[in-house]
Structure 1
Amino acid sequence: MTKETLTIENITFTLERKNIKRMYLRVLPPKGEVKVSAPNFLSDEEIFNFVISKKDWILKKQKYIHENGIKAPLKYDNGEKHYLWGRPYTLQLIKNDTIKNVVIDEDKSMLYLPIPKRSTIEKRKNILDEFYRLQMQTAIPTTLDKCAKIVGKTPSEVKIRKMKNWGNCRYHDKRITLNLNLAKKDPECLEYVMIHELCHLIEFNHGKKFKKLMDKFCPNWKEIKKRLNE
């Protein structure tokens, strides 16, 4: 495999020649870097023509990445920043059979992640997700007790899972589900989401009555919501 940096019509891209059959082009966050993978047998002219044909798409994709602050996918590797209850920690992988659980060093802001000898990104992600799940399971009882007293409603059950929304409430069976990723946010965000879902036990939709409930039980909910979604 060969690798070089080229520029054509103000588009700078990294070219990797590989033993593949087709050409591929990617625009990667966070800087909008352009990468092209091409078969070894293709000429420079064919590659340049391909990049030029994709110029409008490349510029549009780069603009979207920059304007929306799109971040690069996590690789769960040494030096990455990961968050726990709103605080950033530097990830350090540990290949040690005697350490089975994630270890947090508050003084050094380090998060030590024990991994198996043959670890993939997916395996490392799953280990950290399980740690976040345990953190949520520990935090929920106290948070629920506090918020239930504020709202005056108690759910039948609180579940945790990965989801697009921060939380949801099934009105018919009074079950609340919270997003696992809330463990990465400030604890105040967990309280806000809990109050939000408990209010749905009173008012199911997001109309004026619901907003009045939120104003009453969580006066700064709009500010917390904005911070949560940043």
Structure 2
Amino acid sequence: MNTSITTTLHLGELTVAITYKGIKNVHLTVHPPQGEVRVSAPLTMNPDTVRVFIISKLAWIRQQRRRILAQEREAPREYVNRESHLVWGQRYLLKVVEHQAPPKVNLAPKTLDLYVRPHTPQEKRHQVISEWYRQQIKDVVPGLIAKYETVMGVEVREFGVKRMKTRWGTCNPRAQRIWLNLELAKKPPACLEYVVVHEMTHLLEPKHNDRFWGFIDSFYPQWQHYRDELNRLPLG
């Protein structure tokens, strides 16, 4: 039976969500878009020990929160003509074409052409483009997985694409399944490749420890550049 206990720690203006659960080590993360701070700690760890650990990391936490809060964010999309949209790291102007047929999306040299029936509402336009983005990732990822399965000596049984607020990807090593953030279709292709490699590496090492990063260095030596690129690019 999985047991977890969640508490909140207030340190001045900083609020930290702490979850005690059946793990061996403490994990500290800072999440976009608001710089939320989360700590996972072993159930047996004394709360005072956790507090001292967090205090020892305050300088790092504040640095990460400043970076996240300063990151550029895209304005909400309205899905109207001449609106700017990102595809694989490049900007295209949206061209809305009304037609009497099922909706579709075509990528032209300078425009992202959205074909919809007259009077199609904004939410439906958003849905059509989101599904198009999802398909772009699904078209590319099998080739990346096949490439790195050979290099790593692992097998991915399943992958999926979904919206995620705080992560670019996740991996379930036991199920050999990875999930990828839908927003990656807006980023340069090399960023998607980095995330695929990152999640596949968890099939060899579940934790972000020295062994894990050693594998990443071996499989994708330029990983730090593309991780930093993801952190610099506009958030959705």
TM-score by length of 2: 0.65
> Which letter does structure 2 place at the counterpart of 1:126?
Q
Question: Which consecutive unaligned segments of at least 5 residues does structure 2 have?
Answer: 1-68
Contact 1:84 1:184 in 2 (8 A): yes
Please tell me whether residue 181 in structure 1 is matched to residue 196 in structure 2.
no
Identical positions, percent = 35
Q: 1:121 to 1:98 in 2, by over 3 A?
A: closer
Contact 2:101 2:117 in 1 (8 A): no
> Which letter does structure 2 place at the counterpart of 1:162?
R
Task: State how far apart, in whole Å, the 1-side matches of 2:154 and 2:81 are.
Answer: 44
Please tell me whether residue 69 in structure 1 is matched to residue 97 in structure 2.
no
**Corresponding pairs, count:** 165
Match of residue 209, structure 1, among 204, 208, 211: 211
Q: 1:185 to 1:69 in 2, by over 3 A?
A: closer
> Which letter does structure 2 place at the counterpart of 1:137?
K
The equivalent residue for 1:82 is 85
Task: State how far apart, in whole Å, the 2-side matches of 1:189 and 1:151 are.
Answer: 19
Contact 2:170 2:199 in 1 (8 A): yes
TM-score by length of 1: 0.67
The equivalent residue for 1:158 is 159
Structure number with greater CO (CA < 8 Å, separation at least 6) is 2
Query: Counterparts of 1:1-230 in structure 2 under 5 Å?
Result: 67-98=70-101, 100-106=103-109, 109-164=110-165, 165-230=167-232
Task: State how far apart, in whole Å, the 2-side matches of 1:159 and 1:67 are.
Answer: 30
Q: 1:227 to 1:172 in 2, by over 3 A?
A: same
**Worse-matched range after superposition: 178-187 or 197-206:** 178-187
The equivalent residue for 1:17 is none
Give the SS at the match of 1:229.
Answer: helix
* Deviation by residue 1:77-105 (Cα, 9 ceiling, x = unmatched): 11111121222111011111247321111
Contact 1:147 1:195 in 2 (8 A): yes
Contact 1:159 1:177 in 2 (8 A): yes
Task: State how far apart, in whole Å, the 2-side matches of 1:99 and 1:110 are.
Answer: 20
Contact 1:151 1:195 in 2 (8 A): no
Contact 1:96 1:114 in 2 (8 A): yes
Task: State how far apart, in whole Å, the 2-side matches of 1:225 and 1:163 are.
Answer: 17
Task: State how far apart, in whole Å, the 2-side matches of 1:130 and 1:67 are.
Answer: 29
Question: Which consecutive unaligned segments of at least 5 residues does structure 1 have?
Answer: 1-65
Higher Cα radius of gyration: 1
Task: State how far apart, in whole Å, the 2-side matches of 1:180 and 1:92 are.
Answer: 22
Give the SS at the match of 2:104.
Answer: coil
Contact 2:98 2:115 in 1 (8 A): yes
Q: 1:124 to 1:86 in 2, by over 3 A?
A: same
Task: State how far apart, in whole Å, the 1-side matches of 2:73 and 2:88 are.
Answer: 22
Task: State how far apart, in whole Å, the 1-side matches of 2:136 and 2:157 are.
Answer: 21
The equivalent residue for 2:10 is none
* Deviation by residue 1:178-206 (Cα, 9 ceiling, x = unmatched): 11121111111111111101100011011
